[in-house]
């Protein structure tokens, strides 16, 4: 568009100068006003375009503002204020009321409510207390808290979210490359049409109505300017990006992030099968430790046991809901003593087996400075057995819970404790699944939990269970078998154990709320942990793809009609265009090109 407008302006100004020299200023045909008006229209259109794009991405701009400021945070117990960029894992900080959380951390003292709307899109405040993780960018609304830094600012979930937004805007939808190529060739074709069409028109008119050379040159210039101004290749180039920007921003305003941008939209449109993980996806993932059974011969103190558990789970707590529950329970048992011992435990040789458990060596110093090392394993009974931990007693409680999962703790080759955890089904899960089925999607569940728990959830929600006690490799195998059967599969999960199946599926959807770990493999992140967002996501994709197709068709039709008028093909019908009369048409077209997609973001599905 810039090249065509520039060529038209140069041609008009040069002919104006030539006409003044040839016939004088009083009799000359000046295109100075026309070219000036056209330039003004282009500048005004660019300004309106910038305003529209800023409006379309206003929610995304707020994300960047959170990293642009230089805020200070108070260290504990010294009270010294330092820039948040100086904080490192293990530092103890004090969060005063109305401050913004500078980095990912967890609470070790105090209770307060937090506004997470900037990060997750959740409008209602959430209460945080001992053992809960706080996400960078969220705002403390009332109480004072003592927290320990878990991840520094540049590695926080908030920083990773901003990077994902940047990458999402840079991705192109499938077919956009072809549209860009067509736009470039279209501009070249318009220039060639402007050069060769006027001489042909003058040649045929000369036979019927002979005119002089100078009059013919004047008509030649007028027709060139009209053709160059009438074409609008930008309408083709903006047809897809405008819709994508509106869709990304509208989705983020509702707590959904399309991490791979435009390329995700096309894949989502083709999905016909959605596979759900259970824990943290169909269930709330907010486990509560219902019972703790210690080995009768465990010679250590219970506080020592929880210190070992917290030390091992501190790095794993943000990767799986079970880790969060154990870490929080441990902090509640230890209390403020964790503040005194946070620098003492040493940990090495850690390893996580997704879906099975975690193992590591932990050294705790005594008052004399000597270290006692413990090999700690936390996970399923099979995981401990595979690592040579022998059960020393019957791990079944006298009154086993009706549902839930069992987590076993082994220390130095001995099974020392068994914990039973409970989880609840999300209240919106049933309705969401029914709506997805009504829309024509197939649904199924894959879980690593035991058969009894999988059956309970499956029966209550009416969803078939593809497999239970499924390891990450089992889940991956089931996803690939569905794809081989011809299905376009979307996988919905929340933990590290879901990463292989999320990456292998056509679309990976990650439930990330209250987790400071950016799970790999997904192209969609549901930040507010609301399963009902899947329905909204489907609506956004459907309307965005429909708007993209309409934009492309409209752009082609507009250019076809405009060039037909500009070249004089419909002159016998009494219609024609001149440069001076086209300014209004250009304004109307530019306004439509800028605002057509914005209606998608404000037309009932983005901000309702």
Asked, for residue 567, whether it belongs to a domain, the answer is: no
Task: Report DSSP letters for 192-219, one per residue.
Answer: HHHHHHHHHHHHHHHHHS---HHHHHHH
Q: What are the residues whose beta carbons fall under 8 Å from the beta carbon of 524, sequence distance 6 or more?
A: 256, 257, 258, 259, 264, 268, 507, 508, 509, 510, 537
Asked, for residue 308, whether it belongs to a domain, the answer is: yes
pLDDT of residue 598: 42
pLDDT of residue 441: 92
- Shared domain check, 402 and 298: yes
Read off the tokens for 279: 């824990």
pLDDT tens per residue, range 125-148: 888 888 888 888 888 888 889 998
| Number of Cβ within a 10 Å radius of residue 169 | 17
pLDDT tens per residue, range 15-47: 778 778 777 777 777 777 777 766 776 676 666
Name the domain count of the chain.
4
Read off the tokens for 278: 């259970």
Task: Report H helices in 271-418.
Answer: 302-313, 321-334, 337-341, 381-386
Q: Is the pLDDT of residue 166 over 70?
A: no
If you compute the radius of gyration of the chain from its CA atoms, what whole number of angstroms results? Answer: 32
- Shared domain check, 361 and 289: yes
Examine the fold and report which residue of 519, 541, 563 is the final residue of a domain before the chain moves on: 541
Asked, for residue 241, whether it belongs to a domain, the answer is: no
Strand spans (E) along 423-565: 442-446, 465-467, 489-493, 507-511, 524-526
- Shared domain check, 418 and 433: no
- Shared domain check, 189 and 51: yes
- Shared domain check, 288 and 278: no
- Shared domain check, 367 and 389: yes
Pick 194 or 360 by higher pLDDT.
360
- Shared domain check, 143 and 253: no
pLDDT of residue 193: 79
- Shared domain check, 318 and 346: yes
Read off the tokens for 161: 């979210």
pLDDT tens per residue, range 57-96: 555 555 555 555 567 888 988 888 888 888 888 889 999 8
The pairing of strands 405-411 and 357-365 is: unpaired
pLDDT of residue 482: 93
pLDDT of residue 510: 86
Q: What is the reported pTM?
A: 0.68
pLDDT tens per residue, range 363-422: 887 766 677 888 899 988 888 888 888 765 555 554 445 456 888 998 888 888 888 888
- Shared domain check, 203 and 262: no
Pick 358 or 54 by higher pLDDT.
358
Task: Report H helices in 258-320.
Answer: 262-270, 302-313
- Shared domain check, 277 and 296: no
Q: Which CATH number covers residue 454?
A: 3.40.50.1000
pLDDT of residue 272: 92
pLDDT of residue 317: 61
pLDDT of residue 180: 66
- Shared domain check, 387 and 506: no
Asked, for residue 561, whether it belongs to a domain, the answer is: no
- Shared domain check, 44 and 185: yes
Q: Is the pLDDT of residue 428 over 80?
A: yes
**Mean per-residue pLDDT for 453-460?**
88
The pairing of strands 112-115 and 104-109 is: unpaired
Q: Which CATH number covers residue 335?
A: 3.40.1110.10
Asked, for residue 525, whether it belongs to a domain, the answer is: yes
Residue 291 pLDDT level (bands cut at 50, 70, 90): confident
Q: Is the pLDDT of residue 2 over 50?
A: yes
Q: Which residues of 120-143 are buried (b: 16+ CB within 10 A; e: fewer)?
A: bbbeebbebebbbbbbbbbbbeeb
- Give the residue numbers spanning the domain of 5: 1-56+171-231+578-597
């Amino acid at each position: 568009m810039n090249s065509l407008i520039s060529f038209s302006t140069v041609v008009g100004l040069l002919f104006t100068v030539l006409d003044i020299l040839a016939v004088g200023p009083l009799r000359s045909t000046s295109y100075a006003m026309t070219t000036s008006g056209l330039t003004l229209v282009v500048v005004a259109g660019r300004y309106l375009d910038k305003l529209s794009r800023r409006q379309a991405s206003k929610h995304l701009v707020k994300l960047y503002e959170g990293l642009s400021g230089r805020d200070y945070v108070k260290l504990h117990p010294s009270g010294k204020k330092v820039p948040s960029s100086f904080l490192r894992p293990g530092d103890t900080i004090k969060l005063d009321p109305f401050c913004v959380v500078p980095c990912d951390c967890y609470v070790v003292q105090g209770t307060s409510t937090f506004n997470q709307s900037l990060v997750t899109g959740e409008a209602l405040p959430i209460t945080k207390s001992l053992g809960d993780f706080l996400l960078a960018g969220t705002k403390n609304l009332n109480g004072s808290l003592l927290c320990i830094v878990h991840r520094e600012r540049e590695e926080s979930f908030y920083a990773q979210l901003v990077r994902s937004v940047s990458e999402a805007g840079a991705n192109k939808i499938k077919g956009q490359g072809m549209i860009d190529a067509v736009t470039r060739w279209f501009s070249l074709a318009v220039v060639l049409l402007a050069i060769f069409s006027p001489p042909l028109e003058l040649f045929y008119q000369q036979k019927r109505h002979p005119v002089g050379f100078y009059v013919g040159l004047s008509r030649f210039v007028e027709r060139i300017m009209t053709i160059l101004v009438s074409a609008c290749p930008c309408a083709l180039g903006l047809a897809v990006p405008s819709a994508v920007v509106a869709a990304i921003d509208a989705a983020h305003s509702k707590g959904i992030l399309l991490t791979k941008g435009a390329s995700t939209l096309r894949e989502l449109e083709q999905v016909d099968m959605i596979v759900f993980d259970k824990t943290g996806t169909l269930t709330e993932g907010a486990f509560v430790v219902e019972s703790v059974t210690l080995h009768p011969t465990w010679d250590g103190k219970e506080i020592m046991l929880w210190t070992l558990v917290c030390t091992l789970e501190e790095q794993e707590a943000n990767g799986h809901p079970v880790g969060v529950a154990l870490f929080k329970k441990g902090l509640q048992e230890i209390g403020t003593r964790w503040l005194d011992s946070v620098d003492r435990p040493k940990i090495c040789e850690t390893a996580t087996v997704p879906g099975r458990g975690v193992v590591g060596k932990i050294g705790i110093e005594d008052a004399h400075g000597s270290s006692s090392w413990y090999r700690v394993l936390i996970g399923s009974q099979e995981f401990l057995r595979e690592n040579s931990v022998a059960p020393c007693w019957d791990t079944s409680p006298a009154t086993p819970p009706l549902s839930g999962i069992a987590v076993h703790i082994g220390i130095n080759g001995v099974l020392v404790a068994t914990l039973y955890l409970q989880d609840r089904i999300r209240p919106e899960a049933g309705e969401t699944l029914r709506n997805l089925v009504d829309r024509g999607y197939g649904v199924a569940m894959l879980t690593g939990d035991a058969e009894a728990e999988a059956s309970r959830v499956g029966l209550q929600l009416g969803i078939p269970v593809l497999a239970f006690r499924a390891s990450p490799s089992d889940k991956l195998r089931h996803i690939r078998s569905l794809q081989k059967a011809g299905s376009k599969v979307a996988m919905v999960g929340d933990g590290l154990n879901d990463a292989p199946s999320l990456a292998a599926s056509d679309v990976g959807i990650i439930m990330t709320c209250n987790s400071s770990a950016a799970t790999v493999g997904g192209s969609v992140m549901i930040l507010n942990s609301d399963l009902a967002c899947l329905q909204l996501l489907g609506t956004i994709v459907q309307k965005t793809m429909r708007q993209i197709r309409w934009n492309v068709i409209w752009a082609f039709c507009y250019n076809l009609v405009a060039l037909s008028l500009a070249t004089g093909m419909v002159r016998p019908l009494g219609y024609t265009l001149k440069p001076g009369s086209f300014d209004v048409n250009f304004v109307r077209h530019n306004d439509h090109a800028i605002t057509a997609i914005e209606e998608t973001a404000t037309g009932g599905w983005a901000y309702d």
